[in-house]
Structure 1
Amino acid sequence: MSKTDSLPGSGSQDSNVAEFSVTEISAALKRTVEDTYGYVRVRGEISGYRGPHSSGHAYFSMKDDRARLEAVIWRGVFSKLKIRPEEGMECIATGKLTTYPGSSKYQIVIERIEPAGVGALMALLEERRKKLAAEGLFDNERKQPIPFLPKTIGVVTSPTGAVIRDILHRLRDRFPTHVLVWPVRVQGETSGREVAAAINGFNQLDGSEIARPDLLIVARGGGSLEDLWGFNDEAVVRAVAASTIPVISAVGHETDWTLIDHVADQRAPTPTGAAEMAVPVRHDLENTVATLNLRNVQAMQRSLDQQRNALRSLARAMPALDSLFGMPRQRFDTAAQRLTAALSSNTVAHRTRLIKAGSQVSPRMLAIHFARARDRKTQATLRLGTVMARIVERRRDNWRRVGALKPDMLSRQITLGRTALGDRTARMDRAFVSSFRRVSQKLDGQAQLLKLVSYQSVLQRGFALVRDGEGQPIRAASQTSMLQHISLEFADGRVAAVVQDGAAAPQTPKPKPKKATPTKPPGNQGSLF
């Protein structure tokens, strides 16, 4: 050996150590870990869970107070899990311990997961209940009333168990009705998804091919907490809350409670109790209807008897027909007898007055009346001359007093008179303008009204006025005859036509005469006319 080879740290001493690539050493570690541990059960708390990845796989960690272990659940296993992982849940995971060479870490590939004991299940259930209750899914205001007599009932349960037979038997005994059964698994990994799908499926029925249920019953027999866990699934609870059809939950026995019992519109202690809540007893309804019908008939009979007795009492109290008309008839006969004598007496009295008046009328009496009238006229003429003379004298006195006034006083009187005349003239002008404005407004309104009710406004909308040869309007087709000459007046003119086979044949229109331009009246009052 040379001196150089004996030097420490020269590398010759490590020439016998085997060399590995990174891939080889990672594969060796993977085989070692998998062969040494194989399948293991690991208990810990789930951390970093964010739901399944877009690929369908789920990645998270399991930890305790001292260590941390990466975990993965493949997509095919995740869809079959009975208990889904949740953040912070303490569970027991069963799977294979392996390594992931891509990041130099070891992990557990989980094939089954379960809560760490019944206490953990209860804690998970309570946490989920609080979460859903905080969203208001359990509020009584959301619950719908159960229909009194549903025509169709949908049942979500296992088709082979004793539950469906108990429900059908109880419905048949109480009130036979149409039942639709949606078969589902009521226990196992897919139970929750199937129940939620059945509830949503019933709500999506439109009634065209399959009758839409008026009521849903979700039923299952009793069992342990793990057996009933599918009815604590969040998807089931949300499906019941979103259902527009009322839902009765009948899961387990009286002491069994699941989350579906809180959100359902009605909870039944047993499936048989759900059937009893769904429909009434037909025999009891028939007895009730018969009793009500009997009471109605008896009430009507009593009412008729009472009215008949009242009518008889009133009839006895009323007087007879002859007694009612006896007195008026007697008064009429008496008046008829007195009328003949009264007419004769009246005729005699008028004749006497006429003879007396005729004896007073003679030429001498008429001459006396004319003489008296002539005297009264002469006296009135004399009095009229005297009165007129007095009036003339008073007017002369007034003019003398005016003439005796001084020029300045006369000028003042004239000025005052002119001012008073100006004021009266101004008031008269204002009154005339106001009166003229009112009359103009009234006339404009009447003109507008006349325009609205005029037939010409109807012609403006596309109608025509039919007239006969004399210009009279024709209001019906029955007023026309074959080859009759008529005219059709439109908004823009008239067209001549001849009636042929019940239809008017237009002729050559005559030239429309020009309208004479109206002359505007003089003065400011021309708008009135």
Structure 2
Amino acid sequence: MDMFEDTPAPSNSPEFTVSELSGAVKKVIEGEFGLVRVRGEVGRVSRPASGHLYFALKDDRASLDAVSWKGQVAKMQVRPEEGMEVIATGRMTTFPGQSKYQLIVDDVAPAGAGALMAMLEKRKAALGAEGLFDPARKKPIPYLPQVIGVVTSPSGAVIRDILHRLRDRFPRHVLIWPVAVQGQNCAAEVAAAIKGFNALQPGGPIPRPDLIIVARGGGSLEDLWGFNEEIVVRAAAASEIPLISAVGHETDTTLIDYAADLRAPTPTAAAEIAVPVRMDLIATLADLAARQSRGIAQTLQRRDQRLRDLTRALPRLESLLATPRQRLDTAGQRLGGALGMAAAKKRGSYATIASRLRPEALLGLIARRAESLNAAQLRLNDRAARAQERKHAAFDKWASRLPLSLARLIADAGRKTADGRAKLTQLDARLQSAPGQRLALLAQRLDALERMRTTLGYDQTLKRGYAVVRGDGHVVMTKSAAEKAQTLEIEFSDGRLSLGPRPTKKPKPGGFEQGSLF
């Protein structure tokens, strides 16, 4: 007996594979927990490129992994964030690949208004730390915008109130960007509308707004939640166009109110802030115009009086011109003697220069210039000779290559000529055979058309038992036309039958006339 031999003891316990055991556990868990609602704090939120949402629900003693698929995430009114207390609705299942159980979440709801407020305060603090709510970055609202962009629902009472208030105060050009003001699509559409208005180019086919109003009526915290989303706050903070937030009533506050350049308590108040009262402006302009006219008149009157006072203080014209006239007379008397002295001085300078111009100096200058010219001529001739030698060398180099190139050109021309003759021969053969082929094709088409004409002609129809009726030389197709005709002719397949003139007297009442064909 081998001391290392190990014989297993027989057992009645069934054996399972790993997959069988995992499947059995999965059926038990899914059967016992078909639909559950779990309350807990959200932790470890992650959303990969697939679009699915992975997070954990935890309390002070345990943690539960949860997953929400991409389609379910798109339907969520509120998406879970880390640290938020929620109530998740879904079904329990297992993940055999990692031997763990998890909750497939269909919907997530905040665990009361306190959870929403806590998440709102946390988000407000985070965005405020980035400087998005800094008053220094807010832009001034234009006094009288030419174009106003309104981001709101096109079917609600808000847009009607805004348009009515603008029409009463100061009519302006209004562009409406329709969006959903609550629900899952609210935040994305509002952010896209703000970015869309900013993307419009000045002077383009669609005018660029000078002011944007984001408006919505009152509602609960959940209804207004779309205006607390981060993408909306960032779009409002990044807007180059001044933006007025008019979301909810006066007591409602959302994060877009802090990022906007100005907050209005109601949408109607936003319209009142956007434009002044036209009649007040007209009255103010009239008052300013009257004040301007009075001011101009008074200024002209004061200037005129001041000018008259200054005129009386000026000296007389004769006294002003007396001294300059005297200086002119004195200068005129001194001018003659000064001209004579200047001419004598110039004459003396000329005589000094002329004494230096002797013939020997001129001849020496000419000789020196001639020597310089001869030296330059020699240098020029030398340079020309060297340039000519270089040109001859280059010409000889190219001339040595010319016979080979000419031979290649003649050979290429010979090959092209042979190819052209071969192609010309082929084209001539095709030209000789083309008329015959064309005539044969046309003859076939003519035969086919003749067969079609014979088949479709009315002669074949007559052979099948039909006849053609003509009245007074024309084909008749109705009974009334046949009754009106004086003579009838019937064409059969083997000939025509003519009927003589018909009697014209009226038929007797109650029936046809005797001897009538009809």
TM-score (norm 1): 0.57
Is 1:174 matched with 2:173? no
Is 1:35 matched with 2:55? no
8 Å CA contact 1:199, 1:239 repeated in 2: yes
SS at match of 1:83: coil
From 84, 88, 93, the counterpart of 1:93: 88
| Equivalence for 1:256 | 252
| Equivalence for 1:83 | 78
Alpha-carbon separation, structure 2, partners of 1:319 and 1:179: 64
Letter in 1 for 2:142: P
Go from structure 1 to structure 2 and tell me whether the alpha carbon gap of 1:314 and 1:20 turns closer, same or farther (over 3 Å shift). closer
Letter in 1 for 2:34: G
Is 1:236 matched with 2:227? no
Corresponding residue pairs, total: 321
| Equivalence for 1:157 | 152
SS at match of 1:187: coil
Is 1:111 matched with 2:106? yes
Is 1:287 matched with 2:283? yes
Go from structure 1 to structure 2 and tell me whether the alpha carbon gap of 1:319 and 1:95 turns closer, same or farther (over 3 Å shift). closer
| Equivalence for 2:373 | 515
Matches within 5 A, 1:87-486: 87-207=82-202, 208-310=204-306
Go from structure 1 to structure 2 and tell me whether the alpha carbon gap of 1:513 and 1:216 turns closer, same or farther (over 3 Å shift). farther
SS at match of 1:176: coil
Alpha-carbon separation, structure 2, partners of 1:21 and 1:135: 56
Alpha-carbon separation, structure 1, partners of 2:26 and 2:277: 69
Matches within 5 A, 1:468-507: none
Q: Which runs of 5+ in 1 are unaligned?
A: 1-8, 330-511, 519-529
Alpha-carbon separation, structure 2, partners of 1:136 and 1:273: 27
Alpha-carbon separation, structure 2, partners of 1:285 and 1:294: 14
Go from structure 1 to structure 2 and tell me whether the alpha carbon gap of 1:311 and 1:206 turns closer, same or farther (over 3 Å shift). closer
1:128-158 Cα deviation digits (max 9, x unpaired): 0000111111101111111111111111111
Alpha-carbon separation, structure 1, partners of 2:102 and 2:318: 120
Letter in 1 for 2:68: I
The Cα of 1:255 is off from its aligned counterpart by 0.9
Alpha-carbon separation, structure 2, partners of 1:58 and 1:164: 37
Alpha-carbon separation, structure 2, partners of 1:27 and 1:229: 42
Go from structure 1 to structure 2 and tell me whether the alpha carbon gap of 1:202 and 1:314 turns closer, same or farther (over 3 Å shift). closer
Go from structure 1 to structure 2 and tell me whether the alpha carbon gap of 1:308 and 1:90 turns closer, same or farther (over 3 Å shift). same
SS at match of 2:75: coil
Go from structure 1 to structure 2 and tell me whether the alpha carbon gap of 1:133 and 1:319 turns closer, same or farther (over 3 Å shift). closer
| Equivalence for 1:44 | 40
SS at match of 1:128: helix
8 Å CA contact 1:80, 1:190 repeated in 2: no
The Cα of 1:310 is off from its aligned counterpart by 4.7
SS at match of 1:150: coil
Alpha-carbon separation, structure 2, partners of 1:177 and 1:150: 8
Alpha-carbon separation, structure 1, partners of 2:373 and 2:308: 84
Alpha-carbon separation, structure 2, partners of 1:33 and 1:182: 49
Q: Which runs of 5+ in 2 are unaligned?
A: 1-7, 323-369, 377-518
SS at match of 1:48: strand
Structure 1 or 2, whichever has the larger Rg, is 1
Alpha-carbon separation, structure 2, partners of 1:117 and 1:325: 102
8 Å CA contact 1:46, 1:89 repeated in 2: yes
Alpha-carbon separation, structure 1, partners of 2:110 and 2:270: 32
SS at match of 1:102: coil
The Cα of 1:254 is off from its aligned counterpart by 0.8
SS at match of 1:515: helix
The Cα of 1:309 is off from its aligned counterpart by 4.4
The Cα of 1:283 is off from its aligned counterpart by 1.1
The Cα of 1:264 is off from its aligned counterpart by 0.5
1:290-347 Cα deviation digits (max 9, x unpaired): 11111111111222333444556677x58999xx879x99xxxxxxxxxxxxxxxxxx
The Cα of 1:206 is off from its aligned counterpart by 1.2
SS at match of 2:270: helix
The Cα of 1:27 is off from its aligned counterpart by 2.3
**Aligned-pair Cα RMSD in Å:** 2.8
| Equivalence for 1:378 | none
Alpha-carbon separation, structure 2, partners of 1:22 and 1:273: 68
8 Å CA contact 1:146, 1:215 repeated in 2: yes
SS at match of 1:78: helix
| Equivalence for 1:11 | 10
The Cα of 1:282 is off from its aligned counterpart by 1.2
Go from structure 1 to structure 2 and tell me whether the alpha carbon gap of 1:516 and 1:114 turns closer, same or farther (over 3 Å shift). same
From 29, 48, 53, the counterpart of 2:48: 53
Identity %: 59
Alpha-carbon separation, structure 1, partners of 2:110 and 2:315: 100
TM-score (norm 2): 0.58
1:421-472 Cα deviation digits (max 9, x unpaired): xxxxxxxxxxxxxxxxxxxxxxxxxxxxxxxxxxxxxxxxxxxxxxxxxxxx
SS at match of 1:223: coil
Letter in 1 for 2:41: E
